[in-house]
Amino acid sequence: TIKRASNGTIASTFTVKDDQIFKTLPSNQLLRLFDNVPKKALAQEITANRLIYGNYTENFNLIDSNGADVKPVFEIELKNRYNPGSSNRDERQSIKSKRTYQFGIVYMDEFGRQTPVLTDDSGIIKVDQESASFMTQFTVKTTSDAPAFANSYKYFIKEISSTTHNFIGDSFYQDKEGFIYIAVPSADVNKVDVNDTIVLKKKRGNNVSDITEEFKVLDKFTTGPPPFLAKPLKEIYVPDIFVFSKNLEQDRDQHLLKPGSTPVPGRNRVTISAMFQFRENKVQGGSVINSDTTDGVSTQAYNLLNPGAKVKFVTGAGETDIYTVANKEIDLADDNDFELHFTEEFGDDVKVLYENFEQDKLFDMTDGTVNAGATLVGGDDTLDGTDNSYGGGVKMVIVDTVDESGKEEYQGKFFIKIKNNSTLLQELKGEEDLNNLQVLSTISLDGDQTDNDPRQFHMYGGGLANSDSSITRNGVVGATSPDDGGFDGSTNHLASNQNNYGEGQSYLAARGFITNDELDNGYHFAIRTDLAFANVTANYATLPLITGLEESPSNKNLYNTDNDDVYLRFDRSRAQVAAGNAIDNQLYKIIRVYKYLERGVTVSAQLDGSAKVGSQQDFNDGQAVYLIKLDKQLAQNLIFNGDKETAGNPGNADNVMQISVLKFRKEDELIGIPEPPIFEVLPKDDTDIDIYFETQEVFTVSSNHGNDNVLSYYNCFTFENGVESLTIRDDFNTPAIGKGVRVSTVFEDKPYIEETLKNNLIFSQIYNGKNAINRLNQFIIAEDITKEINPDYGSIQLLHTRYNDVIAYCENKVVKILTNKDALFNADGNVNITSNKAVLGQAMPYNSNYGISTNPESFAAYTHRSYFTDKKRGVVVRHSMDGMEEISGYGMKDFFRDALAANNGLMVGSYDVRKHQYNISTHESNANSTVSFSESINGWVSKKSFIPEAGFSLENKYFTFKNGHIFEHHVGTRNTFYGSATTPFVEFLLNTAPANMKNFRTLNYEGDSGWTCASIVTDQQDGVVSSFIEKENKYFNYIKGVAETQSTIDTKAYNIQGVGDWASNASGGGNLRVYTFANAVPQDLQIGDDLYYVHPSSSANTRIGPVTAITSTTITVDFTSTSSPPSSPAYFIFYVKNAEWQTSGLLGYFATVKMQNTSTDSKEIYSVGSEISISS
């Protein structure tokens, strides 16, 4: 990792001390995008030193604050990374060009949990090659709304290209088949291979390449140069003089295309009039040849042209393919001319030997007919067939193979082959940089038409600054004389002292050599040869100026632009210097040339209609005229037509200027380039999987979402010359700049939504206290950290560790999951346990049909036993070493079946280690709904008054929770739970002789003192024992009845007797009323008994008060404690004796006794009994 200094900058140089740079970060940490801790989980446990969750919820619902689905929309820009002049520009970090990047966004909640990558087509950006010369970075804006849960976010980038390499190409070679071979240092041999695609990043020098074409590597040569370089055809003989002949034995000069004499496509024979180098020897006689073309072929040349010899034909503008001699024949009788037949037919390549092979534009101005055939370069159709008339322009050169495989420039190189491309060649030659132009020749130019100097030209028209032929030709408003730099050719063809003066220049449209339409193309100047173009002495065809003009787009090559790289530069004449004319340092590119040969025309009258003077022709035969159009207007005047030596001072050069011809570097200058071009091997895209790499910035939603987010992400270093590097030293197989440390991906198989995995478990990384390793917070989703349980078992409700294995309590099943081991099943079904690296191994269900339903809170465990309820089946289950057992069946089956089904809330279970009892609360609020199961008696022993929210035992102490507070039991004031005191009680059932009605007379118990009888109830009566009397360490007393009240009276009881309807009643004074009865008052009525009346319509029993006096027919009652009884109509009267004092024992088939201890001391009770008698 390269770290920034304290001031935020990065050093410009680094020392690599260790090439093993990938050795500090565990591999799984590269996959740790975030800790996928569940949002919530129902079950949690620790085993195998890992944290495990079951029945958990993960993912998020991608909904924004308005309830709409979140679909990211991006705005991505590429901008300059550094400010101009910034000191940190030396970092040179940038975004790799010629790549396609796809952006995605990942949202995070406050705990760092992440969504997968969310992306859209708006997140795609293509970085073109043009950006390679800049140091760039990404700016991203997410214009869509963020999810409601999101607290922060970061960007991920998908870029699937593999590592690429740069290599130097310091030499370039072209073959004749249209291919380029690049010589590359052998150190880079592994960087590029056949079928790779390469692109030019930097051209020669330190300049950025302007082309973006891609080139496929067609072949690769690693053991030496390609064959055409290892054994090339080299020129072994170049004649000084070469002329085609009219035919064998007709050794006159051939100027025109003639099948069988000159190379013509589809033929294979030529005849040659002369071929020799000066000072060679004639075939016949052996005399030395000097210059006479009639000397024919030299002995040296002829001896090299044996069958099998290879030749090519060349001109100043090009050359043909190689042809092999089949046979030869010489005519010794007629000046040693000879013929050659070739094994191959000539191809279209020989068309380069002619002025214009496709169409003949040379007209015979005498009669207007077209000459037959095209003219050879340097020839003149009017001289065809004359002796010693061809001035040169085409030569036949003998070539042969030479072994150059050991050439020094090939050593330490391998070669790759690509398709030839003119644009690439221009880049390699630097043809876009005018500084790479090379001067081919400089010639002199004046305006004198009459000096007739060999290989000399004169200005024939134009040359005026900021003007051209379309503006100054004859027939337009601005027509300007050639003497003034224009193209009005109607006058001044010759000097005033010459015959036919005033006939006009040949580019006057009326002369028929050129049209006004052609002149309207805007030619800037015209030059003319002083002598005939085919003049042997002048040999114009070999001049660099002529070859340059011939290569430029012209009427002779149908304006072919393949070689539009000829430039001109003009120097001032002495007269211009003396006149103070400014220097013109500009370079002018030739973009159009029009050439024709002047022909002499004899007419009877001059252009103005006057009689012709003498019989001279208007023009000399064969002088060549070139009209030249430049890429821009002339900045300064050139010399004009007519500018010549100063009169009286012959030979001076006042009006002579120089024209320099420039072209870009030749092919041999593409060898050993000092600052060579650099190519890049384009990457092969990796498998198109949706892997996105994390960027380093984390942005907050509240402050940054919707704004421009500048990313520091980079994946290359750039040198601002088109070259980008991403490997150390740019070597092959060295570490490269990574795309990122962590990756993420998109969801494709299913929609990404919040999801509860009810049957799944997920676990963390390991914890090791000895080695101070705590990775419990690491949930690396790229690893296998989940396990799914059979959905038929129902959802996972609780996890519990037993003997290092995990017990999963599901709704319908209990399952054991092996940890750090797995199970192998034999054919007989038996299981063999084997150790492996699986954190969670085989899931094996227990052989029972119990589950924990949806009440994991009912679970409690102690040592090897655990307890839980199964509401669906109405049972309480004990899970021990011997399997599952229904403990609710121990006398409580009906109770639990009803209680569990009726409870829709929590059923909290806990284990009291002090009493070794499992406590289960069957209702959240009903009193005394907590019941206890004791292992010591294997049964249910007690109900409890407390209803906890949770409970557990720790260090031999029992704790429960209530209202969020923790309470310890068995300490402090007894019988006090959660701050409230509770009176403990024990209920007994007395049921001796259950088939008989009994009289329960007394109540006794054995135990500690202090117990009281809270109640004693038979199926017939209620009773009370107010206290106990100790006798012989036992406690007893008689059972008394319970005084009746208006709401508790039982008219069937023996202590209630009727009196009858009263006959009359009267006030007894004060609150007394006297009732008189027609019948006798019952004798067992006593003072103090309560008197009641029965309402005649509602049958309601209403208390009047206690009896105060009795006679045989009257009863006096005190109604002070009630209200005044009604005086009419007559009511039925009955009385109730006080059962507490009037009852001796309780009648009933069985009695329920409730014994309680009201003190806070520990009290024991062993037994409760009653003295009974069978009721008669």
H/E element, 597:
strand 588-597
Identify the CATH assignment for 1056-1137 out of 2.30.38, 2.40.30, 2.60.120, 2.60.40.
Answer: 2.40.30
Q: Provide the token pair at 843.
A: 């899931």
Give the phi and the psi of residue 597 in degrees, each rounded to 5. -105, 130
CB-side neighbour CA atoms (13 Å) of 889: 6
Enter the DSSP assignment of 447. Answer: S
Tokens, residue 449: 């038409």
Tell whether the torsion through CA atoms of 463, 466, 470 and 471 is positive or negative.
negative
Q: By C-alpha distance, which of 320, 322, 280, 323 is closest to 303?
A: 280
What are the DSSP calls for 1129-1146, one per residue? S--EEEEE--HHHH--SE
pLDDT at 827: 59
d(CA 690, CA 132): 26
- Angle, CA of 197, 200 and 202, to the nearest 5°: 150
Query: 10 Å Cβ neighbour count for 63?
Result: 16
Contact yes or no for 312/345 (Cβ under 8 A): no
Region of 123 please: left (phi>0), alpha (psi -120 to 50) or beta: alpha
Residues ≥6 apart with Cβ < 8 Å to 769? none
Between CA 137 and CA 88 the distance in angstroms is 14
Q: 1024: which 2 tokens? A: 């009370």
Is residue 157 within 8 Å of residue 103, measured between CB atoms?
yes
Q: Could you tell me the CA-to-CA distances from 731 to 165, 187, 199, 450, 616 in Å, in that order?
A: 8, 8, 18, 68, 78
Q: Coil, strand or helix: which one is 1053? A: coil
State the Cα–Cα distance between residues 1018 and 680, nearest whole angstrom.
Answer: 105
pLDDT digits (tens, 9 = 90+) for 620-672: 778 899 999 999 999 999 999 888 766 555 545 678 888 999 887 665 578 88
Rounded Cα gap, residues 711 and 701, in angstroms? 16
User: pLDDT for 724-773, tens place per residue?
Assistant: 998 888 888 888 887 776 777 787 667 889 999 999 999 999 988 888 88
Q: Tally Cβ neighbours within 10 Å of residue 702.
A: 10
Six-digit token string for 582: 């400014």
Q: Quick one: which of 513, 510, 493 has its CA closest to 502?
A: 493
- Whose tokens are 């004046």? That residue is 446
pLDDT at 517: 94
Residues of the chain with pLDDT under 50: 20-23, 360-371, 498, 606-609, 613-616, 651
Domain boundaries, the chain: 60-164+683-744, 172-229+408-422, 233-401, 434-664, 987-1043+1146-1174, 1056-1137
Encoded amino acid at 387, one letter = D
Helix (H, G, I), strand (E, B) or coil at 502: coil
CB 1071: neighbour CB atoms within 10 A? 16
Cα–Cα nearest to 644, from 715, 573, 700, 584:
573
Hey, what are 238's tokens? 């170049």
Cα–Cα–Cα angle for 653, 654, 660, rounded to 5 degrees: 70
Compute φ and ψ for 1012, nearest 5 degrees. -125, 160
pLDDT of residue 30: 61
- 850 and 814 in contact (C-beta within 8 Å)? yes
The Cα 511–Cα 617 span in angstroms is 13
Q: What was the pLDDT predicted at 685?
A: 66
- Do strands 457-462 and 437-446 pair parallel, antiparallel, or not at all (unpaired)? parallel
CA separation for the pair 856, 852 (Å, rounded): 6
pTM: 0.65
Question: What is residue 363's predicted lDDT score, i.e. its pLDDT?
Answer: 42
Angle value at C-alpha 1108, between 1103 and 1109, nearest 5 degrees = 120
CA distances from 679 to 23, 58, 716, 723, 727 (A): 32, 49, 16, 8, 15
Would you put residue 304 in left (φ > 0), alpha (ψ -120 to 50) or beta? alpha
CB 736 within 8 A of CB 764: no
Nearest to 526 by CA among 576, 608, 460, 609: 460
* Phi, psi of 545, deg, nearest 5: -65, -45
Q: Alpha helices, DSSP H only, in 167-238? A: 227-230
- CA count, 13 A, side-chain hemisphere, 1088: 9
Query: 489-498 burial, b if ≥16 CB within 10 A, otherwise e?
Result: bbbbbbeeee
Distances from the Cα of 605 to the Cα of 491, 495, 613, angstroms: 15, 18, 9
At 89, is the secondary structure helix, strand, or coil?
Answer: helix
SS3 assignment, position 702:
helix
From CA 1033, how far away is CA 568, in angstroms rounded?
142
